[in-house]
Amino acid sequence: MTLYAGIDCGTQSTKVIIVDSQTARILGEGSAPHQMISESGGRREQEACWWTDALETAFAQAIRSAGIDGREIRALSVSGQQHGFVPVSENGDVLAPAKLWCDTSTNAENQWFIDALGGEKAAIERLGLLPQTGYTVSKIIWFKQQHPQLWQQLRYVLLPHDYLNFWLTGNACAEYGDASGTGLLNIRTREWDKEAADLIDPEGILWQALPPLVRAEQMIGTVRPEIAEKLGISPQTRVASGGGDNMMAAIGTGNIKPGITTMSLGTSGTLFTFAEKPVVADSAMIAGFCSSSNGWMPLICTMNVTSATSTIQSLLGLDIQTFNDALNSSKPGADGLIMLPFFNGERVPQLPDARASLHNMDGSNLTPQNLSLAVVESATYGLRFGIDLFRQQGVTTREIRLTGGGARSEKWRQIVADIMATPVVCVTNQEAAALGAAVQAIWSDTLTTETTPETQLAALCERFVQLDENTRTQPDPVNVPVYESLYQNYLTLLTSEYPEVSL
């Protein structure tokens, strides 16, 4: 038995899993929640100590549930929520609460940065992607403007997973995948962009604070003795580079070769795939991130998936079983009822101020069954919009691997397969980011010179990533052309309501 740990520090909680590399089994799991500082102006922050406290609690739970001696764990890896900014001083003190990916209070700072780069087209040409308000760079600018005295103490710019690595090992570094979501990395060359950093801070404090970059399979150190004692593990436990949660979820779903797309039917919708070359899209809606498997990971995020279906479910007073029964009671197209599901605005397409609307109602089609189906179909059309953006960049999808709460619905899986005209399947382990981190820890710890690192990672994913064949769903040849026509109707409605949208 050879043990490894995967840690996933998300927005709501920190999760820990412990795996046996010899049997490819998860032996133990633990989880602990986080608080959040939230204000109406878009402020979303967390104290970094909340993550470390949660990590201690979750690690203890995982060790207990596994029934093992924590000192047997050979290595671990950290997955973290992307884009957050942890400012750290020379002596390791966190200088301010960490602004999170979902903090929207720095929109003005983000626009200033894009303008300073020369506009959207120039930003994409320079960095390979367009910085968004949620990215780290606007938070850095805000910190410099709002806390000039603390800015003078800044020594390390760290993302959440970087900070946990720093807490664990005392070493500050950044991995290409997560770093590509800062807005300061050139995703083609995988290098920090000095001129971009100097636009923000000509004095060079920012440039000196950007940590050295490491490859995905690189070990960065061992756990400090005082931290090892807190976690109940050995100070010889090795720490791998880790990465952003989406990058680790790509590993945890086996999405490390072209042709596979991971699709999350969660509160929001996320699509990402693997590319062997940088995907620098004309569309700012595609984030051309680096992967944590030494490739690239183009990603698209929509805002209204189970958040939209839950709104309708609550309106109708339906529990999840009754809602799923309603989906099965209506035919594709919901008797003509069609929805634009933008309850939370929308990111793809870029409609932040949009609102949801219901169309083509009459006295016979406005039923709970049709309304339930219309919201599921429209949320899925939004994800199809993203798939089409990928296709425009030459990115093909031969299989969709589903995660998230919506993936538990057999009917919704069939709708996804039909609208995308692509087979879908679920993975057996829904904690994909934590599993991806554990696999990365094994990868980094067991590298040999016999084959390439990428080949060795592929072999590990074959062993650890299990597909639930009971959920495998093929497109219905009858429904595929029906949904293609319905999707075109959706696009017609979308562009008539929002003429600025183009595909």
Averaged pLDDT, 495-501: 94
CA angle 325, 326, 327 (to 5 degrees): 90
Query: Cα torsion for 425, 429, 431, 436, to the nearest 10°?
Result: -90
Q: Is residue 427 part of a domain?
A: no
> What are the beta bridge partners of residue 25?
20
Confirm or deny that 83 is annotated as ligand binding.
Answer: yes
Span 200-259, pLDDT tens digits? 999 999 999 999 999 999 999 999 999 999 999 999 999 999 999 999 999 999 999 999
Q: What is the pLDDT of residue 219?
A: 97
Residues facing 37 on adjacent strands:
45
108 or 352: which leads in pLDDT = 108
- What the block records as the tokens of 275 is 């590319």
Residue 1 in this model has a pLDDT that exceeds 90 = no
In a domain, 245, yes or no: no
Helix (H) or strand (E) segment spanning residue 339: strand 338-340
- Closest by CA to 142, choosing from 178, 104, 94, is 104
Query: Range of 382's domain?
Result: 306-392+479-497
Distance CA 100, CA 82 (A): 8
List all residues 6 or more positions away from 278 whose beta carbon is below 8 Å from its beta carbon.
128, 187, 188, 288, 296
Question: Residue 51, SS3?
Answer: helix
Is residue 451 a contact partner of residue 238, using CB atoms and an 8 Å limit?
A: no
Query: If you average pLDDT over residues 448-453, what whole number do you get?
Result: 92
DSSP, collapsed to helix, strand or coil, labels residue 466 as: coil
**Catalytic residue annotation:** 245
Residue with tokens 């609208």: 419
Extract the tokens encoding 316. Answer: 């109708």
Q: Is the pLDDT of residue 283 over 90?
A: no
Location of structure tokens 């997955």? 79
Encoded tokens for 485 = 């026509």
User: What is the Cα–Cα distance from 89 to 92, expressed in whole angstroms?
Assistant: 5
431-448 pLDDT, tens digit each? 899 999 999 999 999 999
The answer to whether 4 touches 442, Cβ cutoff 8 Å, is yes
Q: For every residue of 148-188, which 3-state class applies, written as one string?
A: HHHHCCEEEEECHHHHHHHHHHCCCCEEHHHHCCCCCEECC
The answer as to whether 332 is a domain residue is yes
Q: Give a yes or no: residue 371 inside a domain.
A: yes
Which token pair is 89? Answer: 């001083």
Calpha distance 227→230 (Å, rounded):
5
User: In this structure, is residue 472 part of a structural domain?
Assistant: no
The pLDDT value given to residue 41: 84
Can you tell me whether residue 270 is helix, strand or coil?
strand
Find, among 244, 263, 189, 285, the residue nearest to 473 by Cα.
263
Residue 415 falls inside a structural domain: no
| CATH number for position 352 | 3.30.420.40
pLDDT score for 276: 92
Nearest to 242 by CA among 90, 81, 381: 81
In the chain, the number of structural domains is 1
pLDDT at 288 over 80: yes
| Tokens of residue 457, six digits | 């990672």
Q: Can you point out the beta strands (E) in 102-249?
A: 154-158, 174-175, 185-186, 191-192, 213-214, 219-222, 238-240, 243-244
| Residue-level pLDDT at 66 | 97
Nearest to 234 by CA among 55, 356, 74, 61: 74
**Selection from 299, 330, 298 nearest residue 312 by Cα:** 330
Q: Does the pLDDT of residue 369 top 90, yes or no?
A: yes
Query: Distance between CA atoms of 182 and 194, rounded to whole angstroms?
Result: 13
Domain annotation covers residue 209? no
Length of the chain: 503
Half-sphere exposure of 167 (CA within 13 A, CB side): 23
User: Which pLDDT value is given to residue 258?
Assistant: 94
Whether the Cβ atoms of residue 465 and residue 253 lie closer than 8 Å to each other: yes
Q: Is 152 annotated as contributing to ligand binding?
A: no
Cβ density class 407-439: b for 16+ within 10 Å, e for less: bebebbbbbbbbbbbbebbbbebebbbbbbbbb
Residue 291, φ and ψ in degrees, nearest 5: -90, 175
Task: Express each pLDDT in 307-324 by its tens digit.
Answer: 999 999 999 999 999 999
**Termini Cα distance of the chain:** 52
Mean pLDDT along residues 15-24:
97
Residue 349, preceding bond cis, omega within 30 degrees?
Answer: yes
Half-sphere exposure in the Cβ direction for 138 (13 Å, CA): 25
Say whether pLDDT at 262 is over 90: yes
**Cα(364)–Cα(405) distance, integer angstroms:** 31
Residue (of 174, 166, 161, 169) closest to 216 by Cα position? 174
Q: What is the pLDDT of residues 457-481, one digit of tens each?
A: 999 999 999 999 999 999 999 999 9
Exposed (0-12), middle (13-18) or buried (19+): which is 17, by Cβ within 10 Å? buried
Structural tokens at position 81: 């929520």
Residue 339 lies in a domain: yes
For residue 179, the one-letter residue type is: A
